[in-house]
Copies of this chain bind each other. A is one copy, B any other.
Amino acid sequence: MSGNSFGTLYCVTSFGESHGPAYGGVVDGCPPGLPLKSEDIQKELDRRKPGSSRHVTQRRESDTVEILSGTYDGKTTGTAIGFLVRNEDQRSKDYTAIADTFRPGHADYTYWQKYGIRDPRGGGRASARETVIRVAAGAIAKKWLAERYGVLIRGYLAQLGPIPVPFKSWDAVNQNAFFSSNLEMVKELETFMDNLRESGDSVGARVNVVAENVPVGWGEPVYGRLDAEIAAAMMSINAVKGVEIGAGFASVAQKGSEHGDEMTPRGFQSNNNGGVLGGISTGQPVSVSIALKPTSSIRVPRRTINTKGAAATVQTTGRHDPCVGIRATPIAEAMLACVLMDQALRHRGQCGDVVPPVKLK
């Protein structure tokens, strides 16, 4: 399986470039009989959509999904679900200015060196617009996980540049452009972004995602661990530079007597492990935190090289998110959903006859 697919039983394949005619995806292995309409997917795509506030890219895309196969009479058939999202607002001319130079921190340099091909239009395949496919595939996974197991997957912005945004309430998350769980902080975030945008610079972000009601037992030791596959899925999102499960890097300084989550017949007494032990879900919420780096396309002039290898200066004036992390919440949720669904199916394949010995709580 090459790099544009992932998953073993719930397998997602993606194609498309930022300035080509369309993005497309194939979801293979979805169980049959799941009620599925394009609106189920559209709902999630709309959460990720560009142009929804002044704080994100002003590219105008309706991001309308068209399901081409794999459903009949409003239900999945068990065969491959193909779908398209047409690109509508490609302004390739925005890129003529930087056709021959590379943006520091951008993938256009490495794609060029790897493939020997220079597609200067909007980052080509490296564009974060590819995540539209992840969100669509995740929407299907979320729906199945919710209907079959009651799994609930939600995320929020945990930090915007230097500003921590501590968790306050799930209700708030979808009521603001930042996926902030704290509505009172929105004003501060807006001011920060307005100043940032004006400066022509960009900033990073931290996003947290949690999956509740995950049954105990999902995950395949030792290399196919649930947390290992979550880490890969998250790190494969554009701009992600770090992944934590549970206590994450805080566990470095913890004592064993502090970190190890005690159990009673009513369940675990804490969740430092983030819902995964030995690569297998514990039955507690699966909690993940990711770091997203600042956007590389900025108006601040920077030293770089051109396609001749000569010194150059670059400034990017196209339409870009000054903080890609702002729109990353639905993407991270989607990736977590895809991994969980794949592991759910694999677990059922191997261990479909196992009755978990005890039920806590």
Residue contact A241 to B236, C-beta cutoff 8 Å: no
Partner of A231, one of B4, B232, B278: B232
Rounded to whole angstroms, the CA-CA distance of A174 and B286 in the bound complex is: 37
Rounded to whole angstroms, the CA-CA distance of A130 and B261 in the bound complex is: 23
Residue contact A293 to B104, C-beta cutoff 8 Å: no
In the assembled complex, A217 has its CB within 8 A of some CB on chain B? yes
Instruction: Pick out which of these stretches binds chain B: A40-48, A49-57, A303-311.
Output: A303-311
Within 78-94 of A, Cβ neighbours of B (below 8 Å) are at 78-82, 84
In the assembled complex, A106 has its CB within 8 A of some CB on chain B? yes
Closest to A206 in B: B252
Partner of A202, one of B109, B256, B350: B256
Within 60-85 of A, Cβ neighbours of B (below 8 Å) are at 66, 68-70, 72, 75, 77-82, 84
Partner of A78, one of B117, B263, B325, B345: B117
Question: Mask for A219-253, Cβ within 8 A of B = 1, else 0?
Answer: 11111110111111111101001111111111111
**Count of A interface residues, CB-CB < 8 Å:** 166
Q: Write the nearest CB–CB distance from A32 to chain B, whole angstroms.
A: 4
In the assembled complex, A189 has its CB within 8 A of some CB on chain B? no
Q: Which residues of B contact A66 (CB under 8 A)?
A: 21
Residue contact B79 to A125, C-beta cutoff 8 Å: yes
Additional 10 contacts, C-beta under 8 A, given A2-B350, A103-B260, A263-B304: A1-B7, A2-B9, A5-B28, A8-B9, A13-B80, A14-B80, A24-B24, A78-B351, A115-B354, A251-B294
Partner of A107, one of B2, B277, B300: B277
Q: Which residues of B contact A219 (CB under 8 A)?
A: 110, 114
Known contacts A31-B350, A109-B277, A349-B345; A242 and B241 CB within 8 A of each other? no
Going nearest first, the 7 A-B pairs with the smallest beta carbon separation are A107-B278, A3-B220, A3-B224, A105-B260, A349-B349, A15-B82, A202-B256
Residue contact A236 to B222, C-beta cutoff 8 Å: yes
Partner of A251, one of B247, B293, B357: B293
Residue contact B203 to A255, C-beta cutoff 8 Å: yes
Rounded to whole angstroms, the CA-CA distance of A265 and B130 in the bound complex is: 31
Known contacts A17-B79, A265-B310, A303-B269; A228 and B236 CB within 8 A of each other? yes
Q: Which residues of B contact A281 (CB under 8 A)?
A: 110
Known contacts A15-B70, A78-B351, A148-B353; A204 and B304 CB within 8 A of each other? no
Which interface residue of A4, A32, A347 has the most chain B CB atoms within 10 A? A4
